[in-house]
Amino acid sequence: MKPISIEGLGCRCNPDPGPAPMLQWVNIAKLVVDTSYQRNITPRSRTNIARIAANFRWAYFAPVVISPIEQDRFAIIDGQHRTTAAALCGHDSVPCQIVIAGETEQAAAFKAINANRTPVTTGDLFVAAKAAGEIWAVELDYICSCADVRLSNQGPPSDKSSFVTTRAVMALRLCLKRYGRDTLITALQSVTQTSNIDPGLLNPRMIKALCEVIDRTPEWRDSGLALLDAFDHIDLAAIQRRVQRDASLSEQTERLCQAIQSALCFQMMPLAAE
């Protein structure tokens, strides 16, 4: 835990903040949407609303930003989707932050709220999911520790061990789901525990290609040090450079698979002969 700090952020700012907001529960029937600037409910929006509703908890619910208008109603500035999800769950009221703003300022507030959000990366979501004990994140953390891999926003390692850093959280999660724990660990180790150790190789395409090749031939995965010894004689960085030079983006993962498969077949021939 750490306190809020403004150290290093420069001079204090003194803008006019306008009237202070009020916080209170408001009946959903009194909330309306200004369609002149608010987004319509699209198929993608419906999917998002359904996801919010399926996992609805007040702990996950940020107050809806609204402003009073005529006829004892309130215009929603921010929170149309989560309000709709609350209604879908049978709630008739939601917690709101009430601000005093005219029509043009309501639109300006919508723009400011949505434009000034600090982006949350997949790495940030992984760290939060791990802290929340979500199974996929806990398992992915274990896999990374087995393979000496560290996600870029986890901070420095607590010991002197050598970790290879990657930002490819989504690729790791997808490969875990598709190929399983053992294949993903082996794929990562083929970079981190061989002469190929290089953070630039732990990118989504290379991770997927390594998993695909190893998954196609389980006996390679299960050969232990023999596979890592084989990778010691394969220059993955050179393969990656060649594929990036010669193949289009859509072809690169498959071309990586082909090149790695070919190189491994040659290096693993003595093992097959035994």
Closest CA to 27 of 97, 88, 80, 95: 95
Task: Check residue 60 and give its pLDDT.
Answer: 94
Q: Phi and psi of 151, rounded to 5°?
A: -75, 145
Q: Quick check: helix, strand or coil at residue 78? A: strand
Task: Check residue 273 and give its pLDDT.
Answer: 45
- Strand segments, DSSP code E, in the chain are 22-27, 31-32, 64-69, 73-78, 93-98, 149-151, 164-166
DSSP calls for 175-198:
HHHHH-HHHHHHHHHHHHTSTT--
- CA-to-CA dists, residue 110 to 19, 39, 61, 78, 229, angstroms: 17, 11, 18, 6, 57
Task: Check residue 274 and give its pLDDT.
Answer: 52
Domain with CATH 3.90.1530.10 in the chain: 22-115
CATH number of the structural domain 22-115: 3.90.1530.10
pLDDT tens, per residue, the chain with 274 residues: 888 888 888 778 888 888 899 999 999 999 999 999 888 888 999 999 999 999 999 999 999 999 999 999 999 999 999 999 999 999 999 999 999 999 999 999 999 998 887 788 888 889 899 999 999 999 999 999 999 999 876 554 445 456 788 999 999 999 999 999 999 999 999 999 999 998 899 999 999 999 999 999 989 988 889 999 999 999 999 999 999 999 999 999 999 999 999 999 988 865 544 5
